[in-house]
Structure 1
Amino acid sequence: MMMSSSFMRVLTFLMMMSSFCVLTSAAAEETTTTYDVRDGAGGEYDAGITTSGELSQAVDAAIAELMGTKGWFHDLRNTTGYKHALEVVTCTPDKNMWLYPPEKTATGSLKRVLTTGKLVVAGVKWSAPGAADYRTNPDAPTGFWPKYLEAIVDKISKAYKKNIRVVRIYYQTSGVVVDKVQAGVVDMSEPYYYISGFVNNKPRIEALDYSCITAATEGAFYVRKDKNMNTFDDLYEKLVAGPLHTVGFIGQGNYDSMSDKLPSSAVPYIPNNNPDSSALNQRVIDNLDLAVYVSEFNPGADVTDLLMAIPTGVVSPRVILFPQQGAEAKSVDESKTSNSDDKSGGGIIVGLVIVACVALLLGVLLTFVVVRERKGAPIFMPLLDSVSTNKAFHGEGGL
């Protein structure tokens, strides 16, 4: 079978076009993986990374180093006034066991942080004495939890000899925060998040990665002193009997951690704007709610002249949340976010480039074949005209 020189030229052209398509699709894939982050409103990464890589390992190494520093946790509690924070050791301090991953082999979120010099952290605006004040000055919050994160970032900066800056993004609710963490448009959450709770109908403990426990707190219910409730059993019976059945919770995660302890008659009140604890306390004082759950409970402090605390006996561990290692990207409902600008079209762009190139190659080849046929000079030389004289096909000979 002979091929004309013209066909060989077209074949060479098609091979060149194929190479161009491969390079174009590779370039498209490369350009969709960006590390741009916008400060201020929005503030998310343009492209989500849905695996934490070694960032959670670096954070764990920093937490273990801090916990291994004599007096550090004690001093942090005393200087911030958050003296009732509990130390729960899940990562035994040992500098030989907790190592910072090498920068040259970093992947996922850790690579992004070391590339940009920015650690993008998601949280909500709230305040409670000693624990945190993210409301007065959101860019420079104060209290136990902001100081804790500051110490972690300082350790990571020193380990990699880089000046890593925290970029905080505040969302309307903690539910949106964990969705954004899972989507990878932020690097991680603040260090005060419950390990319990849910994200996209899955337990957080299974859907996300998380750090060593940063600290833990015992929760309590604040109730009116004149309601004759002194124990949790008293509160339980009042919730069953009524007439008030509502209990205030500052966030969905708080309710999830305590819902199974309450009777089925209890109705949660969860505001959408993350109010100060004083606003929820006032609802109890005004007889709108029978009680309010307080996760940042200080056993040694008097609540108010009108309210008293009933300890739950439940200790809630706190962690930093990360995208799960190797997890697929999860979409975030835009109606629940603060004008997010998530972008995940890299795969679509690459696919369109490849489809367009294949269509172009087929079109060029088909056009060339048709033109040659019409000129009476087909690409392939015709077969010998022996079929028409083959007696087997005319019924003239034995088969």
Structure 2
Amino acid sequence: MVLLYVFGAVALINCAYYLLFSKFSFLKPLEKVVSEKYPVSLIVCAKNEAENLKKNIPLWQEQNYPHYDIILINDASMDETLDVMEAFAKDDPRIQIVNVKNNEAFWASKKYALTLGIKRSKNTRLVFTDADCYPASNNWLSVMASHFSNKKQLVLGYGAYEKKPGFLNRLIRFETLMTAIQYFSYAKAGTPYMGVGRNLAYTSNLYYENNGFMSHIKVASGDDDLFVNEAGTSTNTEICVDPDAFTYSLPKKKKKNWHIQKKRHYTTAKLYKPKHRFLLGAYYLFKLLFWLMAPIILFTDFWIFGLGILSIRILFQYIVVGYAAKKLHEQDLISLIPFYELFLIFTQLSIFISNSGEKSARWK
């Protein structure tokens, strides 16, 4: 009987998190307003991305926005990245190139490269994406920039992955969906903790007020989430979930490569503010406990009550995550949400264990 009570308490805590996530799932769409078109800078850092730049630079050039420039940062690439940038820059005066060479102090540091790109910008409002990302529409830049105001200096967007056949693709997209649900929900709750560099915007004023990336300059990753964790507040942060403002990129095709990517990302979580580490850690722990206890409860004399608790929790999950999935155009993931969650929990556990004691890798 005690085990049943514990299981019920664990399920209740799970549902409490879904109640938090409902702040995003049931968020009503904001009315589109025509805002003043301030000049913005689109900043892209590229390392050995020649082929992706050939495909994506034309899409960035075609944005429906009257006043913007494109700052392309070549981060000590070994391929034809710089040549591709220069070829496009010849025909488009909006394109500015920052050619970064490695040095001893900041060897292979994306943050160092981004810092040089930000310093090059003459515009206060900055929009960031990655070289392998393309916008969902020609209105991406306009919609993202429209969320800036005198108070709102940080805009969190959604960086999605393309839909491809196979289970790994669905798992990657489910993990991306759940991450987005969390950082959008926490932002709406007044405690932003991360964003993704695939689709992010902030002002140079906010950047300089927080001394840029200096507090974590030696950490290989975190130019996006660690900056948001440090600089984001309840008053200066806004979310942008208009489908026109999504970005898309190709997910990893091999599980090993995805694990390497996730291991690099997870190294930054330990540097989050204590309250965020606690909330995120508790969320993962109680999910793990729920799925570990569920089969045990179902083999006890109280299995009927256990089944009821299990059903209520899963129903809660389907409703909250399902609405969010529709909002982010990930409807094909809805039918197997608990299955993806279960698989992801133990995948993450294996990554956490393998990450222990390892030094963080360079960004590329």
Give me the TM-score of the superposition, normalised by structure 2: 0.25
Give me the TM-score of the superposition, normalised by structure 1: 0.23
Task: Name the one with the larger helix percent.
Answer: 2
